[in-house]
């Protein structure tokens, strides 16, 4: 039975997991508020601005329909 599994594994294409963005919540040094830095799978960095609290920015990063 183990030989059958080995043969099937050899023919099944290996699936790669889709890369996901990395989110980091940052505080504005001047003026207050927070933003989310999104490092995208291709290495580009995007900044999502306009959060009043750290919790609000964190919730966005967990629930983001755009990136998540």
Half-sphere exposure of 34 (CA within 13 A, CB side): 16
For 20, the token pair is 């996901």
pLDDT band at 67 (very low <50, low <70, confident <90, very high): low
In 10 A of CB 37, how many CB atoms? Answer: 16
pLDDT attached to residue 62: 85
pLDDT tens figures, 13-63: 666 667 788 999 999 988 889 999 999 888 999 999 999 999 999 999 888
Give the bridge partners for 11, in sequence order: none
pLDDT over 80 at 11, yes or no: no
Half-sphere exposure of 59 (CA within 13 A, CB side): 6
pLDDT attached to residue 51: 95
36 close to 60: Cβ distance less than 8 angstroms: yes
Name the residue with higher pLDDT: 50 or 64. Answer: 50
């Amino acid at each position: 039975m183990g030989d059958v599994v080995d043969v099937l594994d050899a023919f099944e294409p290996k699936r790669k997991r889709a890369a996901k963005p990395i989110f980091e919540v940052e505080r504005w040094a001047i003026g207050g508020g927070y933003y989310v830095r999104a490092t995208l799978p291709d290495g580009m960095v995007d900044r999502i601005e306009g959060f009043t609290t750290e919790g609000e920015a964190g919730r966005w990063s967990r629930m983001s329909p755009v990136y998540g």
